[in-house]
Amino acid sequence: MSAQRVLVLNGPNLGRLGSREPDVYGATSYPGLVRRCTALGAELGMAVDVRETNDEAELVGWLHEAADGAIPVVLNPGAFTHYSYALRDALAQRTAPAIEVHISNPSAREEFRHTSVVAAVASGTVAGFGIGSYTLALRALADLTEPSPAD
């Protein structure tokens, strides 16, 4: 049996992890995040493909790819979380579980960050656990995509 393919998609500024506001986003670099996600994915029987873009259209295209291939997704939309209806509409087309992820807790930050336009079309949201939010999301996807045992 081949590994379950999973996309871990990251929006704007997440490629700057490790140097971008470490008091908010921690000291783990983007390559460190990629290593952590792919290693855990391998443990969970997943083939994890981690991507990052500052381009809304590219992120929408990746969500279309996931929908067309019934590929589970971990999505950190970054700032697109709060206003991108295009991203929301792309995620609404999902054909497999999708977990919205945030490193910080948006509800504990500036008021404009309190609203997520994608949350309502995600399977769930994990936020506020630093880079560990990705770990929790991948574990949730593993549970959500695990075949049901025969009764």
Q: Catalytic annotation on 64?
A: no
104 is in an annotated binding site: yes
Among 83, 85, 102, 134, the active-site one is 102
| Contacts by residues 105-114 (CB-CB < 8 Å, ≥ 24 positions apart) | 106/81, 109/24, 112/82, 113/81, 113/82
131 is in an annotated binding site: no
116 is in an annotated binding site: no
What span, in angstroms and rounded, lies between the C-alpha atoms of 21 and 13? 11
29 is in an annotated binding site: no
Among 25, 83, 85, 134, the active-site one is 25
94 is in an annotated binding site: no
64 is in an annotated binding site: no
Catalytic residues: 25, 102
Q: Annotated binding site for substrate: which residue ranges?
A: 76, 82, 89, 103-104, 113
From the annotation, which residues make up the binding site?
76, 82, 89, 103-104, 113
